Chain A
Amino acid sequence: MSTDINNFTAKDLITDQEVRWCPGCGDYSILKQVQTVLPELGLKREDIVFISGIGCSSRFPYYMETYGMHSIHGRATAIASGLKSVRNDLSVWIITGDGDSLSIGGNHFIHLLRRNFNVNILLFNNEIYGLTKGQYSPTTQTGQVTKSSPYGALDHAFNPAALCLGADASFVARSMDRDPLHLRQMLKRTHEHQGAAVLEIYQNCNVFNDGAFEVFTEKTTKKGNTLFVTHGEPLIFGESNNKGIVLEGTTPRVVDLENTSTNDLWIHDEQDRNKANILVRMFDNPSDDSLPRPFGVFYSENRPCYEDLMIEQVEEVTNKFGKGNLDALLRGKSVYEIK
């Protein structure tokens, strides 16, 4: 599509830098979907900024012909907070991984969500440290054998979406590298949200954690193990859309649609925080009788963005006291003259 404001195409977003991810890495797909979606968002290319931390995914800004900063480990969120504080006109995209945002950068991550800066956070979750060659991360499954856990990881894994809701994120969604269509939809929704939007993207690291999300992405198992939620629609999944989710009290249960009417199913409501909390807790390890893993927008809430509140406060104070006068400031309240 092309209108006046959309002065660029996906091609214009490709830089002269050689993309250096391992062949087959899920990052390639994500890069492609981002480059595809951006020109459709009504943004000017010069107003887009990508900021990343450290890790495989954090090379992303070098491959985007926009403004960008590849910063230090875990701090992209903190840097973006400062940038947004002074430039609410920019479209800021934070590229981070599970180690970058949930381990070393955990503190900045939750505080950004609480403050609700209007930014888009793409959290590439591959459940492993790739760039440092294969150590377990805060999202690695308990017991998993990795380079640094030859006898199995002891750590209890984070549930990123639940963590985000716990930190009062105003928008939480999940998608995956292998579902380009859904990923593009979610990227758009992430952008459209006014506030801190987290999009967790399951990303396959085919070198150090190959197949971590296979059950959700492979044709044969995907339908039975994934649940794509849409606002206002009943929760339906299964090989032939033959299963649904009902809420019994606060407990979700899988039902067969042969016996249950879709009218009785849990209808997804993005604005319902309580239900979102239940939804993101559908986090079982896939098995025959487990709940499916949800994808889509889990929660979305409108609340003031921090950078706008900052501006409002500056305006309020300026209205009250008048625009600052440097001479008056330097004089202070009590002066005297030596003659």
Chain B
Amino acid sequence: MNFSTEVKEDVTIMFAGDSGDGIQLTGAQFTDTTALFGNDISTFPNFPAEIRAPQGTVAGVSGFQLHFGSAKMNTPGDELDVLVVMNAAALKVNLKNLKKGGIIVANTDGFDPKNLKLAKYPEGVNPLKNGSLEGFKVYEIDVTKHTKSALQDSGLGTKEAERSKNMFVLGFIYWMYNRNLDNTIKFIEEKFKKRPDIIEANLKVLHAGFNFGETSEAVGTRYEVKPAPMPKGMYRGIMGNQATALGLIAAAEKSGLNLFYGTYPITPASDILHELSKFKNFGVKTYQAEDEIAAVCAAIGASFGGALGVTGSSGPGIALKTEAIGLALMLELPLVIVNVQRGGPSTGLPTKTEQADLLQAVYGRNGEAPVAVVAAKTPSNCFDMVFEACRLALEFMTPVMFLSDGYIANGAEPWRFPLANDLKAIPVSFAKEKNQGDKFMPYLRDEKLARPWAVPGVAGLEHRIGGIEKEDITGNISYDPDNHEKMVKTRAAKIAGIASYIPLQTIDQGAENADVLLLGWGGTYGALRNAVSELLAEGLSVAHAHLTYLNPFPKNLESLLRKHKYILIPELNNGQLVKIIRDKFLIDAQSLTKIQGLPFYTTDIKNAVYAILKKHSENLVCN
């Protein structure tokens, strides 16, 4: 066969099929191989909301999206270039995301009358046959038939043989993008160590898929996606929740403390528990409590005892923990609260992403109850920011909320991981002696306004703390009006003072005095970066700054904002950061919101910028 080869800058592929089709594994294998090849990658899995949704139905479709290319990949991609579907339901769910002219690889066996019916196509309608896919390049392959014929002499039963269908697809896609099979061969040999027959079968089918591309008349084009110019170094792939878990362990190691993680199962935060519970050999104690309140209270108890107390949840669970977070800030004990945000309110959209817990994080407690808030902007950045959350909690003796979200928590990217030695130590000093004559004053503060951490077991430092307002310095119960005001102001000043101990805000891209500054926070980083790159390439005067410190803000934020003519704040909520920015700085920031449980697409952001530029074109020209 003769093939033409087309060079592509980047490609977005979606593998989709039934949960039982091995979609996630296929996606992960393609990701690993592609990373090894040197492309940059961003991935996102899409699980069905139900655990065992009926096979073949729209509700049961599992997907794995990956975006790889020869430049920095900031998101898992907006629109698909290639859609691989194992059945009719998978096509139905994902077709709307496929680019015009995009490629569909369809397993025809998944489009038999039974599957068409399960996918709720009208009687007699087969989208592969009725012309509805005109304008797309469709490769119809009977994957099941090819798989079976590759395995006819293997001695495997039909069921077991059919299980390697995904390997055929993977082999075919490897051929299409000219990838090497070695990494997947190694993986299969490792995974099925104890079943040589299964290894043989999978490898046969993998090769059959590859050879099918080579020999089939149907496919005339292969694609070449050159490696990305990535900074030199050692890389691994990492998911957001995994990075959060590693960041917590790293912070415990670097502070010399034992990590205690109190939590209760909740989507999409549970993977942090799953991950941490594996690493008991780091002295990590994971505690699956009876409820969300117990989880945070146990973490407070652990902190009182001198451990690094951490609790993790998602919005509804954070709501339950609220009173206890207030207690922790009265006790002035270190506590890290991980919130992997999901669509709200109430149970909301458990498996979808949203950034709607920012106001809850900053303000959501009874009384005047400030805590520090930080947020991660990418999957790997979860590591850095949860590490920072631990540092701030320990240095300032305060609860710190770390915000992640369902999008970056489940998303993955290559990570140039740090060496343990490169991570800064987090200094912790427990009180060892009396601090005022022959007395110990639990609320005598240091220059950061932090109080001493005196853990039980030290003679002479016996003291009582509690949730009732306490007297300055002594920590005794006090109902004195002036004292209460002073304590409220002091606790606020302590949190505000953190601004002096965090990095200044920088501009991610664009000029320091652009016409439009996009100010984002958290998991929207990739989408904003893409949009701004494109807008800059179009010659527009835009810039992008992305916040990871949300309470307090970096010291220079106001002056940085004031240098730009218009401020646009894109958020996956109904406008939360914009409220805080307006309130703090009296700046007329504009809001761009999206509340669909989905990430921003580049076009969402670009269009909003065009609109601002158009509306104010006169002003901008005058200047």
B220 interface contact, C-beta 8 A: no
Contacts of B317 in A (CB 8 A): none
Q: Which of B63-71, B459-467, B574-582, B588-596 contacts A (4 or more CB under 8 A)?
A: B459-467
Q: Is the CB of B298 within 8 A of A81?
A: yes
A36 interface contact, C-beta 8 A: no
How far apart sit A66 and B462, CA to CA, in the bound complex (Å)?
5
Q: Is the CB of A68 within 8 A of B236?
A: no
Contacts of A330 in B (CB 8 A): 246, 250, 417-420
Q: Is the CB of A314 within 8 A of B291?
A: no
Contacts of B258 in A (CB 8 A): 86
How far apart sit A339 and B417, CA to CA, in the bound complex (Å)?
15
Nearest neighbor of A69 in chain B, beta-carbon distance: B465
- Measured as residues with beta carbon below 8 angstroms from the partner, the interface class of chain A is 35 or more
Q: Is the CB of A46 within 8 A of B458?
A: yes
A254 interface contact, C-beta 8 A: no
Q: Is the CB of A326 within 8 A of B253?
A: yes
How far apart sit A84 and B306, CA to CA, in the bound complex (Å)?
11
Contacts of A49 in B (CB 8 A): 456
Q: Which of A72-80, A216-224, A232-240, A268-276 contacts B (4 or more CB under 8 A)?
A: A72-80
Contacts of A337 in B (CB 8 A): 232-235
Contacts of B301 in A (CB 8 A): 51, 78-85
Q: Is the CB of A82 within 8 A of B249?
A: no
B471 CB, min distance to chain A CBs, angstroms:
11
How far apart sit A336 and B287, CA to CA, in the bound complex (Å)?
34
Q: Is the CB of A82 within 8 A of B237?
A: no
B299 interface contact, C-beta 8 A: yes
B289 interface contact, C-beta 8 A: yes
Which of A62, A64, A82, A318 has the most chain B CB atoms inside 10 A of its CB?
Answer: A82
Contacts of A45 in B (CB 8 A): 459, 462
Contacts of A17 in B (CB 8 A): 476-477
Q: Would you give the 0/1 interface string for B457-487, flagging 1 where the beta carbon is closer than 8 Å to chain A?
A: 1111111111110000000110000000000
B323 interface contact, C-beta 8 A: yes
Q: Is the CB of B306 within 8 A of A69?
A: no
B409 interface contact, C-beta 8 A: no
How far apart sit A89 and B306, CA to CA, in the bound complex (Å)?
13
B215 interface contact, C-beta 8 A: no
Contacts of A320 in B (CB 8 A): 281
A313 interface contact, C-beta 8 A: yes
How far apart sit A44 and B258, CA to CA, in the bound complex (Å)?
24
A163 interface contact, C-beta 8 A: no
Nearest neighbor of B456 in chain A, beta-carbon distance: A67
Within 8 A of B (CB), among A1-35: 7, 15, 17
Q: Is the CB of A86 within 8 A of B305?
A: yes
How far apart sit A335 and B238, CA to CA, in the bound complex (Å)?
11
How far apart sit A317 and B277, CA to CA, in the bound complex (Å)?
11
A109 CB, min distance to chain B CBs, angstroms:
10
Q: Is the CB of A85 within 8 A of B291?
A: no
Nearest neighbor of A67 in chain B, beta-carbon distance: B456
B451 CB, min distance to chain A CBs, angstroms:
14
Q: Would you give the 0/1 interface string for B274-306, flagging 1 where the beta carbon is closer than 8 Å to chain A?
A: 000001111111010111011001111111111
How far apart sit A322 and B237, CA to CA, in the bound complex (Å)?
24
How far apart sit A89 and B307, CA to CA, in the bound complex (Å)?
14
Q: Is the CB of A82 within 8 A of B309?
A: yes
Contacts of B467 in A (CB 8 A): 70-72
B444 interface contact, C-beta 8 A: no
A159 CB, min distance to chain B CBs, angstroms:
22
Q: Would you give the 0/1 interface string for B208-240, flagging 1 where the beta carbon is closer than 8 Å to chain A?
A: 000000000000000000000011111111100
Q: Would you give the 0/1 interface string for A297-339, flagging 1 where the beta carbon is closer than 8 Å to chain B?
A: 0000000000000100110011011111011011110111111
Q: Is the CB of B36 within 8 A of A336?
A: yes
Q: Is the CB of B457 within 8 A of A87?
A: yes
Q: Is the CB of B290 within 8 A of A335?
A: no
B511 interface contact, C-beta 8 A: no
Number of A-B pairs, beta carbon distance below 8 Å: 202
Q: Is the CB of A67 within 8 A of B235?
A: no
Which of B258, B299, B462 has the most chain A CB atoms inside 10 A of its CB?
Answer: B462
Q: Is the CB of B293 within 8 A of A71?
A: no
How far apart sit A44 and B461, CA to CA, in the bound complex (Å)?
13
B97 CB, min distance to chain A CBs, angstroms:
29
B331 interface contact, C-beta 8 A: yes
Nearest neighbor of A311 in chain B, beta-carbon distance: B285
Q: Is the CB of A70 within 8 A of B457?
A: no
A188 interface contact, C-beta 8 A: no
Q: Is the CB of A331 within 8 A of B305?
A: no
How far apart sit A66 and B457, CA to CA, in the bound complex (Å)?
10
A338 and B420 contact, Cβ closer than 8 Å, known pairs A89-B457, A90-B456:
no
A63 CB, min distance to chain B CBs, angstroms:
9
B38 interface contact, C-beta 8 A: yes
A138 CB, min distance to chain B CBs, angstroms:
18
Q: Is the CB of B302 within 8 A of A82?
A: yes
B187 CB, min distance to chain A CBs, angstroms:
9
A9 CB, min distance to chain B CBs, angstroms:
14
Contacts of B476 in A (CB 8 A): 17, 62
Which of B246, B249, B302, B464 interacts with A61 by CB under 8 Å?
B464
Within 8 A of A (CB), among B42-77: none
Contacts of A64 in B (CB 8 A): 464
A46 and B461 contact, Cβ closer than 8 Å, known pairs A70-B468, A86-B305:
yes
B424 CB, min distance to chain A CBs, angstroms:
13
Contacts of B419 in A (CB 8 A): 327, 330
Contacts of B238 in A (CB 8 A): 332
A239 CB, min distance to chain B CBs, angstroms:
45
A69 and B293 contact, Cβ closer than 8 Å, known pairs A46-B456, A78-B298, A86-B285:
no
Q: Would you give the 0/1 interface string for B243-258, flagging 1 where the beta carbon is closer than 8 Å to chain A?
A: 0001001100100001
| Closest 7 A/B residue pairs (Cβ) | A82-B301, A70-B466, A82-B298, A324-B282, A78-B297, A83-B301, A79-B301
20 contacts between A and B (CB under 8 A): A17-B476, A17-B477, A70-B468, A78-B293, A79-B301, A81-B289, A81-B294, A82-B301, A85-B302, A86-B306, A87-B455, A87-B456, A310-B285, A326-B250, A329-B282, A330-B246, A331-B234, A334-B32, A337-B234, A337-B235
Q: A72-B467, A83-B456 are in contact. List 7 more A-B contacts (CB 8 A).
A: A47-B456, A69-B331, A79-B300, A90-B456, A323-B281, A324-B281, A329-B250
